[in-house]
Amino acid sequence: MDATKKFASQADLQEKKVTFSQLSEHAWAYTAEGDPNTGIVIGDDAVLVADTQATPAMAQDVIRRIREVTDKPIRYVVLTHYHAVRVLGASAYGAQQILASEDTYDLIVERGEADKASEIGRFPRLFSNVETVPPGLTWPTLTFNRKMTLWLGKLEVQLLQLGRGHTKGDTVVWLPQERTLFSGDLVEFDATPYAGDAYFKDWPQTLENVAALKPLALVPGRGAALKGESQVAEGLRGTASFIADVRASVEAGVAAGKDLNAVYKDTFARLKPRYGHWVIFDHCMPFDVTRCFDEMTQYADPRVWTAERDRQMWETLEG
């Protein structure tokens, strides 16, 4: 490993170009060259925002783009999962309801504070103007289990838990009339899936459940918005193959009696040729392999990442 490799994404300081594009009659995508995406649904009487950006200051740019196309009130914010980079911008929208799955709510209770400290340390650029985040955590005001349907006038919006993957609380936002889907970090495109809080055994089936909806457009957690069945299929295939390849390599190492350090070095070397050009590959791999090793050995559920555990793990694998 490269001893000069900076922790997580601390060396990533380059601003990304934002694209705001319409995907279907009511759906828009806010994407930024591999930075976390935000989805926007403009209904008959109100706006829904899926994933908020990392700080209220960054959310202001999303709001500015929304206001270029509609003056309808932003009534709903959906948290596709609990990660700080997705939720800490929520206060900027002044929404009536912040919606999340019950599983996501439970994860915020259990590990929200630790995750917040951990993520801010990993991603300084993504938490620009972090002082604009209100004290405390971002709490859902309304939770659901497995499925919830909202009506924005005549527009049906379904919030669905299709299975565990990126986290146990993953929620997708689905517009059945337009076959448009916001996947959160269950799907990435040309960006490395972060799997430090993942369920490697469940994730492939969850992606099949996404595919079964037959989306015509899909906004991934990171990367360009996908339009048309073939692009959507490509995004699903890429995410699935990465997860399968990490798991296969880790399982082989565990079966051979290797320790985490050796398994990490093997897996990094094995995946780098195929995925090394994806955004945040170097950042994600230590977390992904550690979680997969945990799952294949003794921890069915992800352990909490604290800022201290982040550093210890990085030192062990990259030091």
Residue 263, pLDDT > 80, answer yes
Residue 266: phi and psi, rounded to 5, are -60, -45
pLDDT for 186-203, tens place per residue? 999 999 999 999 999 999
Average pLDDT over residues 75-90: 97
Domain CATH for 314: 3.60.15.10
Average pLDDT over residues 132-140: 94
Q: Which of 295, 311, 305, 300 is nearest to 263 (CA)?
A: 295
Bigger pLDDT: 11 vs 33: 33
HSE-up of 283 (CA within 13 Å, CB side)? 20
pLDDT for 91-118, tens place per residue? 999 999 999 999 999 999 999 999 999 9
Q: How many separate domains does the chain show?
A: 1
Q: Which of 128, 133, 122, 106 is nearest to 194 (CA)?
A: 122
Q: Is 28 a member of any domain?
A: yes
CB 95 within 8 A of CB 74: yes
**Model pLDDT, residue 3:** 44
User: Which residues fall within 8 angstroms of residue 29, CB to CB, at 6 or more apart?
Assistant: 19, 20, 21, 23, 37, 38, 39, 40, 219, 225
**Model pLDDT, residue 13:** 57
Residue 11, pLDDT > 80, answer no
Q: Which domain holds residue 228?
A: 19-318
pLDDT for 209-236, tens place per residue? 999 999 999 999 999 999 999 999 999 9
Residue 41, pLDDT > 70, answer yes
Q: Is 210 a member of any domain?
A: yes
**Model pLDDT, residue 7:** 55
For strand 74-78 and strand 97-101, is the pairing parallel, antiparallel, or unpaired? parallel
Residue 10, pLDDT > 70, answer no
Average pLDDT over residues 49-71: 96
Beta strands in 58-154, from DSSP E residues, in sequence order = 74-78, 97-101, 142-144, 147-152
Q: What's the pTM value of the predicted model, to 2 decimals? A: 0.95
Count of residues in the chain: 319
Q: Which of 140, 117, 53, 59 is nearest to 305 (CA)?
A: 117
Bigger pLDDT: 130 vs 40: 40
User: Which residues fall within 8 angstroms of residue 59, CB to CB, at 6 or more apart?
Assistant: 52, 53, 89, 90, 92, 93
